[in-house]
Structure 1
Amino acid sequence: MMILLVAVVVCGGNVVVEGANVSYDGRSLMIDGQRRILFSGSIHYPRSTPDMWPSLIAKAKQGGLDAIQTYVFWDLHEPQPGQYDFNGRNDIVSFIKQVQQQGLYVTLRIGPFIEAEWGYGGLPFWLHDVPGIVFRTNNEPFKFLMQNFTTKIVNMMKDENLFASQGGPIILSQIENEYQNVEGSFHADGPIYVNWSAQMAVAQNTGEPWMMCKQDDAPDPVINTCNGMRCAETWKGPNSPNKPSLWTENWTSFVQGYGEDPYLRSAQDIAFQTTLFIVKMNGSYVNYYMYHGGTNFGRNPASFIITSYYDQAPLDEYGMLRQPKYGHLKDMHSAMKLCSQALLYGDLTIETLGQNLEAYVYNTNAGDCAAFLINNNSRESGVVFHGFPYTLPSKSISILPDCKTVIFNTATVSTQVSTRSMEPVIKFDSLQQWETFSETVPQFDQASLTSDTLLEQMNTTKDTSDYLWYSMSIQHDLSEDQHMLRVNSFGHALHAYVNGVLVGSQHGTRKAPGFTFENNITFSTGINNISLLSVMVGLPDSGAYMERRRSGLQEVFIEELNLTSYSWGYQIGLLGEKLSIYTEDGSSNVSWNQYDNSGTLTWYKTTFDMPEGNESIALNLGSMGKGEAWINGQSIGRYWVSFNTTGGSPSQTWYNVPRSFIKPTDNLLVLFEEEFGNPLKISLDTISINRICGHVSDVHPPKVDSWKVSDHYQWRPRPRVHLRCPQKRNITSIVFASHGDPSGDCNSYSLGECHSSNTQQIVEKACLGKRQCSIAHTTGNFGADPCPGTPKTLLVDARCE
């Protein structure tokens, strides 16, 4: 274990982390010689903008986090060998210093392979062309370059005194990432590489522990950790009794691909699994992946991954609180911290309270006692614990920091529910606003590159573009004009043209990217030109032998005639890309036309002024098809609105436009549309929280046959409904209010059989015209009990303007 220096100073009202003595034992990471329960959240610096960082970090701290976790993005920092970029969104040093300034620790996941639903798993594409290289195995070219970059990052951190041993915030680092998933594919070289990686990392002498996530054979002293949604139920635990239980990725949602529905993980499930991990597995560090997902700007996301990343995280894509997830986890953090002494220094006793009902009780010699009442049933259950009755909601854990009083239950949400709204502020609905430029479909005789085979796409484009044109010409002298064109593709999408006319398109999916295109085509007599635009939607991000992965066209047939080995011409990328017509300077390189009802492969250009205020902004591209969007030359990402989910709606309609990308006036908006989009229906929308809802219920005596409620039963104080609008907004209306037994929840509700008729009046008096208000959930507050003996609920739905 490493012995380091420690100092904490107060600066500008914030506690600034200035180092810690970081070590570990079998119970937890130890900071300043003290065991700690640490809550962490993943925020990736390139997936947000520097002006957002202070707010994101502050909200994470207010949410009860102790640390921020981030990957290091090799491809962004070394786009070409030896050429480094640490500016703007890539300024990792500035990001870490801002975390430090706000009093939080940092977990640095160097990798350098990170996966992260990021193109090539964060590896720069130029590695592909290194002679003899095999990624992530006992391969000397790869190990040399991996160590070189790791050392580069470590030395940068040392130069800025950012490791805990130097007085900095970094308390934990990671080498490699989920290597166990591919280790077997490399046979004997897999374990050799694991041991080499660990030794290489430890030899960096950072002065604090290293970890390997999802790596059961991580060698000492490197800590193995868990990734997933249910680590208390699926993980074997540390591979040594001297290592702590760390959960590196507690997925708050799940990554979404085009054509896929969002994964909605509830606040209750996250709280249950997190508490269970700490209680059952001696868990001492839990990191939420993601706490703020952010935006996949440019062409960075992996294959088929949407631009919006983990929008269902506690902080949404725009950095706004995702309620009740944010607040419910905040309450859980507070409750668990009250139990930390007992959890970290106490002895555990497990008591059976019934079928699938247990009490985990931690006691210390100093008298600390914390109890966790676990109900693993799918129904509510009543139990008696230490002589008192408790009601345990289904699939829940009640937290009792003094072994008597329930202060938090994982299934009982008292935080308000908030709903995002998008309001159009600029509409681009005028023909005069738009200019267009159409890409020319290339023909074989115009190609600067030719080959007597179908070239692999990634090796040809070197990831400089999503697009590769394959073109050929064929003589047609037959009597039949109709023929079947069949294309087998490893790519992600295809647009097929014959003699410059679109004859069809086809695409794959994230789970099955390759596909076969088939369509009847019509030839003219004489020479016919076949032009096939192969499209990639991101690089692969994982798997063994990633350097061997293929994309682009595999085979082309006209009827049974195999054209694969014919002479093919190639054009890498689009003319508009080559001329950078999405930038202010580059847009003058072509002649733009007034808007018309253009066809496929069309560039659209317009300008706009910055909307007033400071609300987040998004581009509503619901009327477009597939392509990419730029603001003032900066790509806000790929869009693919035409790729619908199973429910028939787009996977993503709104695309984040950071205000830092925008000037006060004359902002250039450029779209490249592959399909048939209608820019006259797009809009620039502001994003805000306009709906807030609170929902709390009585804590009622449990149904326990052997217990009769007596004067000794101590009721928990009834909760309150707390409503709070975003800054500069007030509560303007109460849409629904009921004290009684309303049915449903904040998502869907109606009056029940029991209702205090004056609820609306009382709530309006307490809340209207205010930014925030609090309504006591007591019978006395509403004058009388509308239904004596029945547990009550208070549900309030309000609007903010």
Structure 2
Amino acid sequence: MRFFFILQIAGLLLFGQAGKAQPKHQFALGGSDFLLDGKPFQMISGEMHYPRVPREAWRARMKMAKAMGLNTIGTYVFWNLHEPQKGKFDFSGNNDVAEFVKIAREEGLWVILRPSPYVCAEWEFGGYPYWLQNEKGLVVRSKEAKYLKEYETYIKEVGKQLAPLQVNHGGNILMVQIENEYGSYGNDKEYLAVNQRLFKEAGFDGLLYTCDPPEAIENGHLPGLLSAINGIDNPAKVKKLISENHDGKGPFYIAEWYPAWFDWWGTKHHTVPAESYTGRLDSVLSAGISINMYMFHGGTTRGFMNGANYNDTHPFEPQISSYDYDAPLDEAGNATPKFMLFRSVIAKHLPAGQTLPAVPVAKPSMAVPGIKLNQSVGLLNILPKPVLNKTPLTFEDLNQDYGFVLYRSTLTGGREGLLKLNELRDYAVIMVNGKRVGVLDRRHNQDSLRLVLPSGRVKLDILVENLGRINFGPYLLHNKKGITQRVLFNGKEVYNWAMYSLPFSKVSGITYTAKKVDDIPVVRKGIFNLKAAADTYLDMSHWGKGVAWVNGHSLGRYWSVGPQQTLYVPAEWLKTGSNEIVVFELLKPQKTMDALDKPILDQLQ
């Protein structure tokens, strides 16, 4: 209790007394250092994204950040979370970014804010809301008028939430980033200046900065703003590149330092040995350079919010649900060996008289064997009212953001032929008279399937999944989903489609049966009872492909191709007594599943 009281007093001294006006700090750029209230300040920051961590766990993760030696947290702000439909804003629940920042302050952490509004981040559409594509002529990351109008509306709403929390207003936001690695995309300084103006008009009147990789820093910096650098950690190179683009001065800030990497479906799990980076971290800190680790804690990309990479030389690469990232703090928020090694390095660079708090003990985890999913319903039995059109409509045409669309038409049977879907985006289950006859996968450039049709009128169903919009590169402007062009059978266009929107944004209200259901795709539900709640991991390795929910919370996508074979279930979303699990399975439904006490993130099938 005495220790807790001392921590409370320390927090009050740092950020002012609760309930009273917070003291305003000065955060400024010195010739070679950041200056906090006139004194040199070295940021030792780690990236952590509020939507990738359950709100109930934000504070615990921040305590872990302090225990590793971080004094700052970096986070993006995600436009598509906060304005999911045009003009409808949401800063509640897990989207309450202001509360995230306030908790950081209570835990003695400063914040680097990155509203951008383009974020990349292995996030759906790089953070842009899908509906921007419905604004005719709108061009993201440009001076195009419609884009700037929507951008301005969004950033002013963000400003209402977060501008009062800047350090010069008594808060803990030290700096705010405009755009995001823009130099890798373009070189329009007028566009960057518009960004600066919009941020200032939204109330962000403190320090603004840009960040770019070395090869793009000249394109992406805006004269007068600090140019931070991403992806290198040689102290001499960092100082040279930043000073060349900042009037020969510092401070020197690595805005994204990568001691790890992310994964995508069908490729091996990426790991980076901590030992390869401890010396680099030591040299950067010894040189007085400020740093932001991307990621300190990745967490989980739940729902349908993963992005994808794609360019002319690489296939479509949708990212997995786990954002473990091989980061110092694992997906569940526990310290890894990388965490402990980095902590030892940071401890060497603490100001005189400071020591690190003890590392919180690992969270308990549990196995739950033999969960029965004994209620089911076939997808074709729960279809909503369709939209009818002569030709297929995209997700965007249907005003649908994520999830699935079922396209239905009829063909004259008694023949064989090639079914071709021009520009399928992204994954399709093909059914004839309700039975699966094949799948098409954009990752493998598959767009055609040979069909043998029975006699009579044949019902053709094509269930299309949006696997995540591209989040990086020039193809941001080519991100519509579904069947985006024509459907051909034997070279002739197929017309007269019924389209059923299946966003699966929630799974309440579905009516199940306990009778045997052999239909595929299928939704299955089960109940499992717990005497106590702890973290666990659903083992989906025997299933095929789909999405799962526990107690109404989306756990994200699973796919047997790997490398991810489990879905993380946070203890915060479980309860003693009865818990509900729902699985929407496209290919290979099972009637039982196990939950494990450890994740499987490194198995390809």
With the length of structure 2 as denominator, give the TM-score of the two structures: 0.85
Q: Which residue of 2 aligns with 1:517?
A: 448
Aligned with 1:177 (options 180, 184, 193) = 180
Q: Which residue of 1 aligns with 2:8?
A: 11
Deviates more, 1:102-111 or 1:216-225: 216-225
Q: Which residue of 1 aligns with 2:21?
A: none
State yes or no: 1:336 paired with 2:265: no
Q: Give the secondary-structure state (helix, strand or coil) at the position aligned to 2:328.
A: coil
Q: Which residue of 1 aligns with 2:125?
A: 120
* 1:54-453 map, 5 Å: 54-158=59-163, 161-183=164-186, 190-202=188-200, 204=202, 206-214=204-212, 215-216=217-218, 217-228=220-231, 230=233, 232=235, 236-238=241-243, 239-240=245-246, 241-278=248-285, 284-303=289-308, 304-323=318-337, 325-337=338-350, 423-428=366-371, 430=372, 434-440=374-380, 448-453=386-391
Q: Which residue of 2 aligns with 1:601?
A: 521
Q: CA deviation at 1:562?
A: 1.8
Q: Distance in 2 between matches of 1:266 and 1:523?
A: 54
When residues 208 and 271 of structure 1 are mapped into structure 2, their CA distance, relative to the original with a 3 A threshold, is: farther
Summarize deviations over 1:122-181 as a string: whole Å, max 9, x none. Answer: 1222222234321110112211221222222223224xx421112211111111111112
CA contact (8 A) 1:253 1:263 kept: yes
Amino acid at match of 2:515: Q
Q: CA deviation at 1:532?
A: 1.8
Higher relative contact order, chain-length normalized (CA < 8 Å, sep 6+): 2
Q: Distance in 1 between matches of 2:569 and 2:326?
A: 18
Determine which structure has the larger helix proportion and give its number: 2
Q: Give the secondary-structure state (helix, strand or coil) at the position aligned to 1:531.
A: strand
Summarize deviations over 1:473-507 as a string: whole Å, max 9, x none. Answer: 22246xxx443434444312111122222111131
When residues 483 and 419 of structure 1 are mapped into structure 2, their CA distance, relative to the original with a 3 A threshold, is: farther
Q: Distance in 2 between matches of 1:172 and 1:618?
A: 37
CA contact (8 A) 1:17 1:104 kept: no
State yes or no: 1:541 paired with 2:485: no
Q: CA deviation at 1:571?
A: 1.8
What's the C-alpha RMSD, in Å, of the aligned pairs? 3.1
When residues 96 and 47 of structure 1 are mapped into structure 2, their CA distance, relative to the original with a 3 A threshold, is: same
Q: Which residue of 2 aligns with 1:412?
A: none
Q: Give the secondary-structure state (helix, strand or coil) at the position aligned to 1:573.
A: strand
Q: Give the secondary-structure state (helix, strand or coil) at the position aligned to 1:427.
A: strand
Q: CA deviation at 1:46?
A: 1.1
When residues 22 and 207 of structure 1 are mapped into structure 2, their CA distance, relative to the original with a 3 A threshold, is: farther
Q: Which runs of 5+ in 2 are unaligned?
A: 1-5, 17-23, 309-317, 354-358, 600-605
Q: Give the secondary-structure state (helix, strand or coil) at the position aligned to 1:243.
A: coil
Q: Distance in 2 between matches of 1:505 and 1:300?
A: 23
CA contact (8 A) 1:469 1:531 kept: yes
Q: Which residue of 1 aligns with 2:395?
A: 458
Aligned with 1:592 (options 513, 517, 521) = 513
Summarize deviations over 1:95-136 as a string: whole Å, max 9, x none. Answer: 111111111111011111111111121122222223432111
Q: Distance in 2 between matches of 1:637 and 1:571?
A: 24
CA contact (8 A) 1:53 1:95 kept: yes
Q: Distance in 1 between matches of 2:591 and 2:47?
A: 36
Q: Distance in 2 between matches of 1:522 and 1:551?
A: 27
Q: Which has the larger radius of gyration?
A: 1
Q: Which residue of 2 aligns with 1:20?
A: 25
Q: Distance in 2 between matches of 1:171 and 1:577?
A: 38
When residues 515 and 231 of structure 1 are mapped into structure 2, their CA distance, relative to the original with a 3 A threshold, is: farther
Q: CA deviation at 1:320?
A: 0.4
CA contact (8 A) 1:466 1:538 kept: no
CA contact (8 A) 1:632 1:667 kept: yes
Aligned residues: 562
Q: CA deviation at 1:202?
A: 4.2
Amino acid at match of 1:491: R
Summarize deviations over 1:679-722 as a string: whole Å, max 9, x none. Answer: 42x1233459xxxxxxxxxxxxxxxxxxxxxxxxxxxxxxxxxx
Q: Which residue of 2 aligns with 1:571?
A: 499
Summarize deviations over 1:396-443 as a string: whole Å, max 9, x none. Answer: xxxxxxxxxxxxxxxxxxxx9x99997523421x5xx51111122899
Q: Which residue of 1 aligns with 2:430?
A: 496
Aligned with 1:610 (options 530, 536, 559) = 530
When residues 483 and 192 of structure 1 are mapped into structure 2, their CA distance, relative to the original with a 3 A threshold, is: same
State yes or no: 1:552 paired with 2:482: yes
Q: Give the secondary-structure state (helix, strand or coil) at the position aligned to 1:332.
A: helix
When residues 125 and 452 of structure 1 are mapped into structure 2, their CA distance, relative to the original with a 3 A threshold, is: same
State yes or no: 1:467 paired with 2:404: yes
When residues 468 and 336 of structure 1 are mapped into structure 2, their CA distance, relative to the original with a 3 A threshold, is: same
CA contact (8 A) 2:159 2:203 kept: no
Q: CA deviation at 1:207?
A: 4.5
Q: CA deviation at 1:13?
A: 4.9
CA contact (8 A) 2:183 2:221 kept: no
Determine which structure has the larger strand proportion and give its number: 1
Q: Distance in 2 between matches of 1:454 and 1:636?
A: 30
Q: Distance in 2 between matches of 1:664 and 1:150?
A: 41
Q: Which residue of 1 aligns with 2:356?
A: none
Q: Give the secondary-structure state (helix, strand or coil) at the position aligned to 2:336.
A: coil
State yes or no: 1:45 paired with 2:57: no
Q: Distance in 1 between matches of 2:439 and 2:110?
A: 50
Q: CA deviation at 1:192?
A: 1.9
Q: CA deviation at 1:84?
A: 2.1
CA contact (8 A) 1:308 1:317 kept: yes
Q: Which residue of 1 aligns with 2:312?
A: none
Q: Which runs of 5+ in 1 are unaligned?
A: 1-8, 185-189, 341-415, 644-649, 689-801
Amino acid at match of 2:335: L
CA contact (8 A) 1:555 1:562 kept: no
